[in-house]
Amino acid sequence: MPMTDPLVLLGEVRTALLPNCAALAAREASALLSLLPGQRVTMRERPLPLAISPRSAVGVDCRVATTSTKETRAIGTVAAHAVLVGGRVAQSSAGAVVVRAQDPNRRPWNHYLTRVGTLEVWHRMTEDAAAAIDLTSGFLEKSGPATLDLGSISDRLLTRVRTDRRLDQDPPVRSAATRLRWAARVAPPLDGSARGRAFISFRLEDETTRSVLVLVPTVRDLEAVQRFCEDLAVHDWLLSVLGAALAEADRPTADRDAATQLSPLLEQLVHLWMPGAHSAPRLSGLWERLEQNPGFTRQWTAQVGQLRDRLAVATLAALRSSKISTIQW
């Protein structure tokens, strides 16, 4: 692998409900994500509205987590952008390509600023394959406040979008944000030739944190991984929000019955389920693997069915109660 080829791609995606009573129209979404003057917001309407802000560069000079005992330092810029899906779900995505530093000395900042989203590392492992595995495992398993922290960059951007004064801060659904930390690298050759398909490992760390490892056949496939991970993060968030709402509906309060809690989900979020709609076709195999195990769409279909059943039962109960009250009167 040449020295200029990526060792690994590292990223983190934060996903949350946009705090607004209604979904934003295309013009409103474009205005919200116009974060850099003079740069256009990328818009797409089919099959589901998608808006992506321009990339901003965040300079970093820090240690990078590794699973080995070798000290690794990274200097460069992290690229961050915001995403709005369906005018309703907000995301912030921070990522960087990690390459070997070709100069043993630190360069002036203007060198790094011309390569937005690229981190140069000094790693003592001589083999690129071993260094890539070390950096990947370290980022997914050992990242902390003392090392490269893409989460804080992503969180700051998401906060900026969600606190925009044009939003009314009155969302129809109560939900928590999720974080998806991901790493991607080229899979080692099999029998001397590139592998024919991509591989994914998806893991739930806790109620709000996920980690993803993606292996792709060629360097060219790496550029599509970040958009795939953003798409994956949206659908994982939808599953999490719907599951949490169904669990909460089992404990209705005096001021909110089950129908009041669940009907906004059916109206505002169910139609957003379109796995792979905005992912690159060459990574479609990753969605196929996720559909097999853990079975994203099977779980979603079951949850939506449960949601509709709960609403039907609540409606029947309300009608029965209304009929009884009328008869008594």
Among 210, 232, 254, the domain boundary falls at: 232
**One domain for residues 218 and 268:** no
Q: Report in angstroms the alpha-carbon separations of 31 from 34, 55, 326.
A: 5, 15, 51
**One domain for residues 198 and 252:** no
If pLDDT is split at 50, 70 and 90, which confidence band does 311 have? confident
Q: Report in angstroms the alpha-carbon separations of 109 from 59, 96, 98.
A: 9, 16, 17
Name which of 2, 287, 8, 17 is nearest 172 in CA terms: 17
**Burial tier of 290 (Cβ tally within 10 Å: 0-12, 13-18, 19+):** buried
Among 175, 202, 232, the domain boundary falls at: 232
Domain containing 73 equals 6-232
Rounded to two decimals, the pTM is: 0.90
**One domain for residues 189 and 303:** no
Least confident range of 123-132, 142-151, 198-207, 292-301: 123-132
DSSP string, 20-46: SSSPPPHHHHHHHT--STT-PPEEE-S
The Cα 121–Cα 131 span in angstroms is 10
**Secondary structure letter of residue 146 according to DSSP:** T
Among 199, 232, 265, the domain boundary falls at: 232
**One domain for residues 282 and 153:** no
Assigned domain for 1 exists: no
**One domain for residues 162 and 116:** yes
**One domain for residues 216 and 313:** no
Query: Per-residue pLDDT averaged across 62-78, rounded?
Result: 87
**One domain for residues 126 and 218:** yes
Q: Is 328's pLDDT higher than 60?
A: no
Q: What is the pLDDT of residue 81?
A: 97
How does pLDDT run across 265-276, given as a tens digit for each residue?
888 899 999 999
Query: Per-residue pLDDT averaged across 161-184, rounded?
Result: 94
**One domain for residues 267 and 224:** no
**One domain for residues 309 and 196:** no
Q: What is the pLDDT of residue 299?
A: 94
Q: Is 3's pLDDT higher than 50?
A: no
Average pLDDT of the chain, as a whole number:
88
Domain count, the chain: 2
